[in-house]
Amino acid sequence: MDGPLPLALLVASLLFAAVVLVYVVLDRTPDWGLLGFAAVIEAATLVLLVVAAVQVGDVDLSGGALVTLFGYLVAGLVLLPIGFVWSLAERSRGATAVLMVAGLAQAFVVVRVMQVWPS
């Protein structure tokens, strides 16, 4: 995949997880800033999905790898929304930490997308 988007998305996801960790340590509940950060990651993931769909015709991917690639991209779209729904239903450190799990899982998804995409 051309361009800096996957790497930027990976860094942003890890940074998001790190910011949430700070929130957990300080016992702060998620706020609009955190939601906005997640929205940016979500939008970038959607762009990545579109870019992959556009460029996929030009690369050599087997059927299995193709399913895997788009499986990860779709997973990347649902992780943060589900994480927020599950997290915001309760106000506690554990509930805030849910967003850290979602951020790390998001980073993992991006890494797998980069691995599956032939360079």
Applying CB under 8 A, the residues found at the interface with another protein are 63-64, 67-68, 71, 75, 79, 82-83, 86-87, 90, 92-95, 97-98, 100-102, 105
Torsion of CA 90, 37, 99, 85, to 10 degrees: 50
Q: Sign of torsion, CA 50 18 97 104?
A: positive
Asked if residue 42 lies in contact with residue 81, where contact means CB atoms within 8 angstroms, the answer is yes
Nearer to another protein, 45 or 87 (CB): 87
Give the residue with the Cβ less far from another protein, 4 or 68: 68
107 class by beta-carbon count within 10 Å (0-12 exposed, 13-18 middle, 19+ buried): buried
User: Min. distance of Cβ 108 from another protein in angstroms?
Assistant: 8
CB closer to another protein out of 5 and 95? 95
| Least spacing, CB of residue 116 vs another protein, in Å | 11
CB-wise, 3 or 18, nearer to another protein? 18
